[in-house]
């Protein structure tokens, strides 16, 4: 019985890491699409193409990955009793920030689809660094468990 529970935990952990990779790929890809989308004329066929690409990244990659990452992450945290540990709280704060970032990206996608270009390409390129930096901190919290 103990071995079966241990194997279940490992499979859940593997699935969690796989979906984190999918999520991060989408978080890196979408702002890059925004850079190119902003160069398209509002209302043009090219604008429509970028809008469709962004919608697909959100619908096919980002939203499903976000849900699976959260569900599996919480299940794993409960299984190992991480809810009372400092490293988990720090990790959770960064995951919440990445979740908020994704919601912001979805909103910016809607703005671009309507022809509103609020940010420069340079600003969008800088924003594209957020997921990578957050992922670095999250990995340190999970692996090193500094507190």
109 is in an annotated binding site: no
Whole-angstrom distance, CA of residue 36 vs CA of residue 119: 12
How many angstroms separate the CA atoms of 25 and 67, rounded? 15
Contact 29, 57 (CB under 8 A): yes
Contact 142, 91 (CB under 8 A): yes
Q: What pLDDT score was predicted for residue 7?
A: 86
Q: For the whole model, what pTM was predicted?
A: 0.93
16 labelled ligand-binding: yes
Length reported for the chain: 147
pLDDT at 13: 97
Per-residue pLDDT at 124 = 93
pLDDT greater than 80 at residue 5: no
pLDDT value of position 1: 62
Compute the average pLDDT of residues 98-122.
95
Q: Which among 3-12, 37-46, 102-111 has the top mean pLDDT?
A: 102-111
Q: Are 31 and 127 in contact (CB under 8 A)?
A: yes
């Amino acid at each position: 019985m103990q071995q079966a529970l241990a194997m279940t935990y490992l499979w859940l952990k593997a699935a969690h890491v796989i979906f984190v990779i999918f999520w991060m790929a989408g978080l890196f890809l979408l702002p890059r699409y925004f850079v190119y989308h902003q160069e398209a004329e509002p209302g043009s066929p090219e604008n429509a193409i970028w809008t469709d690409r962004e919608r697909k990244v959100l619908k096919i990659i980002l939203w499903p990955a976000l849900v699976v990452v959260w569900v599996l992450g919480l299940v794993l945290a409960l299984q190992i009793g991480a809810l009372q540990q400092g490293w988990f709280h720090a990790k959770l704060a960064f995951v919440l920030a990445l979740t908020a970032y994704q919601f912001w990206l979805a909103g910016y996608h809607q703005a671009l689809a309507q022809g509103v270009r609020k940010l420069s390409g340079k600003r969008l390129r800088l924003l594209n660094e957020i997921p990578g930096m957050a992922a670095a901190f999250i990995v340190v919290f999970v692996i090193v468990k500094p507190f």
